[in-house]
Amino acid sequence: MSGARVERSATHDDGMLVVDGVRVRYRDDGDRTRTPVLLIHGIGRSLEDWEGLYGRLAPDHRVISLDLPGFGLSERTEGRYSMESMARFVIAGLDALGEHRPLHVVGNSLGGAVALKISALEPARVRSLVLVNSAGFGKEVTIALRLLAIRPSAGGS
C-alpha cells in the first residue's frame, strides 16, 4: 500500500481513510497515547458491531476500528479479496493513522481470520489476539468467505 491519507469528518473520532485511492471508514476513540486496541468486524457487518465496547475500552486504550473494504461505508478494492489482501489493507490503514505500536487485536468471524493473518504477517505489531467465533485459514473457511474472492463477470449481452 503506497499512498494513504486521513480525511476527518465533522466528529473528532471517526472519518474516512484513503488508502491507495480507496475510501475506508474508521473510528478512533480514546487517548492516543494509551495502548491500542484494534476491532475487526465480521462478514457483511461494520464497525457498529463494536458499539457496546467503545465506551468501555476508551478510558484505558486507544480504540481503532474500520469497515473492511467492501463492507459498511468503505469502498471495494480492485482485484481479488483474500485474507492477506484484507490484512495488508488494515495494516496500511493503521499506518495512515500513525499507529505502529503492538496492538491488542480483536476479530469476529471474518475479522478473526483477518486478525490471524495480521499476526502471521506482522507478529511484532500484535500484542495479543482475541478471536470471537473466528473463521480460519485454508479449505475449512466457510463458503461465504471464499466467495469474497470471486468477482462477477463484466460481460454483458
pLDDT in tens, 11-24: 334 699 898 789 99
Residue 77 CA, chain-centre distance (Å), reads: 13
pLDDT at 116: 94
DSSP 52-118: HHHHHHTTTEEEEEEPPTTSTTPPPPSS---HHHHHHHHHHHHHHTT--S-EEEEEETHHHHHHHHH
Q: Report helix, strand or coil for 143.
A: helix
Partners of 24 in beta bridges: 17
- Phi-psi region at 79: left, alpha or beta (left = phi > 0; alpha = psi -120 to 50): left
Give the residue carrying C-alpha cell 499512498: 3
Grid coordinates representing 147 are 466467495
Q: What is the mean pLDDT of residues 57-74?
A: 94
Grid coordinates representing 133 are 467465533
Q: For the segment 95-132, what is each residue's pLDDT rounded down to a tens digit?
A: 999 999 999 999 999 999 999 999 999 999 999 999 98
Give dist(CA 38, CA 125) in Å, integer: 11
Is pTM beyond 0.85? Reply is no
Burial class (CB in 10 A: 0-12, 13-18, 19+), 130: middle
